[in-house]
Amino acid sequence: MVTVAVVVDTPQHSTVRGALSYDAQVPLPAGSLVQVPLGRRTVCGIVWPQGPQPEPGVELKPVGEVLTQLPPLPAAWCALVEFAAGYYQRSVGEVAHAALPADLRKLADKQLALRLKKLAKLQPAGGTAPALPTLTAEQDAALAGLTGDAAQVALLHGSTGSGKTEVYLRAVARALDAGRQAMVLVPEINLTPQLEARFSERFPDRVIVSLHSGLTPAQRLRHWLAAHLGRADIVLGTRMAVFASLPRLGLVVVDEEHDPSYKSQEGARYSARDLAVYRGKLEGATVLLGSATPSLESWHQAERGRYLKLAMPTRVGGGVLPRVRFVDMNHVPKDVAHSHALSPPLLDALQRRVAQGEQSLVLLNRRGYAPVLQCLECAWKSGCPHCSAWRVFHRVDRTLRCHHCGYTERVPSACPECGNPDIQPVGRGTERLEEQLAVSLPGARVARIDADTTRLKGTLEAQLASVHAGEVDVLVGTQMVAKGHDFRRVTLVAAVNPDAALFSSDFRAGERLFALLMQAAGRAGRDAGQAERSVMLVQTWHPTHPLYAALRAHDYDAFAADTLKEREMAGLPPHAHLALLRAEARTQEAAQAWLAAASSTADEIGASAAGVTLYPPVPMSVARVANIERAQMLVESGSRPALQRFLSQWLPQLHALRGEHKALVRWAVDIDPLAI
């Protein structure tokens, strides 16, 4: 009999934190999947490289079935999971099991053998490789910088249209030629099909699989196994793919590395981009981070020489970035300006495009018809009964919808408070903008793309195809349309009402706005013939704001330098490191009381002496969601290790504290939070 350490799926709120010990007949290799008894049930476990010694005298239960058909998970995979669990303060079991396909856990050894046999026959799509495009001097230089040295991290700062994807393709080709596997991450599931098409065309003799939440459980298992067995050469996917098991990983590409989607917002709140960098170090793989507007975290690392900076400022094929012009809303008629509607210069520009048969893209980051309805007689507004937020008026189906809890009702025909039939929309969303454009531009074909029009699978593709086919003159949309789609005939991009982000309490709002507008600008003038006439129009009350000055000059470097200086002075990332302790309770008082108690515990273990500062508990900006009150507390330190050391001391104490707070529903910690 030998003792083996096994991790099982135990969530955060559990006293089981590390591996458990079991008896086995023979030593089992680390990374093997096993069935083990846990309490009264049998669960899937993973044999772990090391675990705590079992208490002497404790009777150990025996390991059940071992999945001998499955090659054990590589040591590097276990190390990545262990690091992620430690860094994001979750149990190893939770992170490990969340990283595996759900179906794998249910499989018996025999069924597995069958699946593996089928996979052995997996063949590349076939076909002939296309002729390679000639590289620009900038692409050449970027690729020359990628030496293929172990654990190199490179930040590819390339303008929209500078040909970043071609650099990815060449870098992947090199990794494959060296007998290694490549992983390519994209922020959104929407972007995987077009990337997959691009890679299959370039690598017809390679096996390519995708990993994202849109796959069926069976597909996910198949793709995961293909990667794990080394049958797949290329893995494309969203943030979850960073945990794929790849025995020969040689390259990780993180496209649009600044995108907030890489940060998980539930369970272990990991950053796939940060884990990709860590993973590259672990496995001696090159990591290539690409963006037109890098995150300030990555930019800062590059400036400090930790990452290699590769710059591609020029558009391929002679395209130039559109001229950026501002419509000063202080100078347009008051009634128009006040409703943030379409200014005469913008309408004029749109009309001209329609007349010339060119396309326009109008951006408004707000779904629905109007963000709130209001009674003209009394003070009634369309608040959500369950949340501290307004319900949004959706005109298509005549509903009031809460975007936080989903609570939906038919819009009332009269004010529910005073019976006055005159209730009116306040402000505007994409629905209302679409309607207004249709009225203002008679004869123009206006279409809208946002989360509401693309709810059904495949509708986004269909709508984009109709835009590409030239069936649309003016496309209205949220940030969804600014991401990655290559519109050849767009010569005007307009931002209707972007100012709010300039004065947001969220310190990253400016960074996100700049990225969004730069990305949107990149949608125009992709075609060299039209590039000269291409314009981005921004309606603003603050045309002299530094963010807009940087946007006008397409000058990311200036924006980054300004913002990094501000962050340094304010003690914010990347110059400081943050964690958020969040609490949800029946009442706001209970939520804050728990945080206050947590704060006292932190004082007792000497937070400030450890270089860690705790701020007072505050309600979250939307304090109540689905009748649960939410509060949070910011924890900050100039040193990442100091913050980590403190958290690993503090959090176990908070588990113990939990019992004394009956009204507390749940709590969680978010390391490196995106918004505070």
Partner DNA sequence: AGCACGCCGACT
Partner DNA sequence: GTCGGCGTGCTC
Binding residues for Zn(2+): 375, 378, 384, 387, 402, 405, 415, 418
On whether the CB atoms of residues 524 and 565 are closer than 8 A, the answer is no
- Residue 40 or 455: which CB sits closer to DNA? 40
Q: How far is CA 457 from CA 189, 198, 237, 460, in A?
A: 11, 21, 18, 7
Cα 314 from chain centre: 27
Nearer to DNA among residue 168 and residue 667 (C-beta):
667
> At 671, phi and psi to the nearest 5?
-85, 140
| Integer angstrom CA distances of residue 617 from 163, 570, 614 | 46, 19, 9
Nearest to DNA of 37, 247 (CB atom):
37
Residue 238's alpha-carbon distances to 116, 244, 249, 562, in angstroms, are 24, 11, 17, 31
Q: Please list the residues that pair with 375 across neighbouring strands.
A: 423
Nearest to 253 by CA among 280, 281, 220, 217: 280
Kindly tell me which of 511 and 584 has the beta carbon lying closer to DNA: 584
Q: Do residues 448 and 476 touch, judged by C-beta distance below 8 A? A: yes
Least CB distance from residue 310 to DNA, whole Å?
44
- State the nearest-atom distance from the C-beta of 6 to DNA, in Å: 8
Q: Which is nearer to DNA, 63 or 169 (CB)?
A: 63
Query: Among residues 26 and 569, whose Cβ is nearest to DNA?
Result: 26
Residue ranges of the binding site: 375, 378, 384, 387, 402, 405, 415, 418
Q: Which helix (H) or strand (E) holds 585?
A: strand 577-585
Q: Which token pair is 654?
A: 């908070």
Q: How far is the CB of 123 from DNA (least distance, A)?
A: 38
Shortest distance in whole angstroms from residue 321 CB to DNA: 49
Closer of 166 and 584 to DNA (Cβ) = 584
Min. distance of Cβ 665 from DNA in angstroms? 10
Q: How far is the CB of 584 from DNA (least distance, A)?
A: 12
Shortest Cβ 36–DNA spacing (Å): 7
Do the Cβ atoms of 636 and 571 come closer than 8 Å? yes
Q: Which residue has the tokens 């007349």?
A: 355
The strands making up 181-185's β-sheet, listed across from edge to edge, are 208-211, 234-237, 181-185, 249-255, 286-291, 153-158, 308-312
- Please report where in the chains the tokens 């749109």 appear, as a residue: 350
CB of 162 closer than 8 Å to CB of 230: no
Instruction: Provide the minimum distance between the beta carbon of 141 and DNA in the complex, in angstroms, as a whole number.
Output: 51
In the complex with DNA, the residue whose CB is nearer, 177 or 266, is 266
Q: How far is the CB of 230 from DNA (least distance, A)?
A: 33
Say if residues 297 and 574 touch (Cβ distance below 8 Å).
yes
* Dihedral of the alpha carbons of 560, 565, 569, 572, in degrees to the nearest 10: 20
Residues in contact with DNA by CB under 7 A are: 10-16, 20-22, 36-41, 54-55, 58, 60-61, 659, 662
If the CB atoms of residues 58 and 609 are measured against DNA, the closer one turns out to be 58
The two structure tokens encoding residue 367: 């779904």
Contact in structure between 154 and 307 (CB atoms under 8 Å): yes
What is the closest distance, in whole angstroms, from the C-beta atom of residue 330 to DNA in the complex?
53
Q: Among candidates 433, 390, 391, 436, which has minimal Cα distance to 410?
A: 391
Q: How far apart are CA 120 and CA 123, in angstroms?
A: 8
Considering the complex, state which of residue 55 and residue 177 has its C-beta at the smaller distance from DNA. Answer: 55
- Compute the least distance from the CB of residue 591 to DNA, in Å: 17
Please state whether the peptide bond connecting residue 421 to the residue before it is cis, i.e. omega within 30 degrees of 0: no
Look up residue 422 and give its two tokens: 């005159």
Residue 480 CA to residue 365 CA, distance in Å, equals 9
What is the rounded distance in angstroms from the CA atom of residue 244 to the CA atom of residue 253? Answer: 14
201 CB neighbour count, 10 Å cutoff: 13
**Which residue's CB is nearer to DNA, number 22 or number 514?**
22
**What are 230's two structure tokens?**
């080394």
Q: Which is nearer to DNA, 462 or 626 (CB)?
A: 626
Q: How far apart are CA 301 and CA 291, in angstroms?
A: 14
Asked whether 21 and 50 are in contact (CB, 8 A), the reply is no
Q: Do residues 226 and 119 touch, judged by C-beta distance below 8 A?
A: yes
Cβ-in-10-Å burial (0-12, 13-18, 19+) of 471 comes to: exposed
Phi, psi for residue 38 in degrees, rounded to 5? -140, 110
User: Which C-beta is closer to DNA: that of 126 or that of 659?
Assistant: 659
Strand ranges for 94-172 from DSSP E: 153-158
Q: How far is the CB of 97 from DNA (least distance, A)?
A: 11
- Min dist CB 21 to DNA, Å, is 4
618 burial type by CB count under 10 A (0-12 exposed, 13-18 middle, 19+ buried)? middle
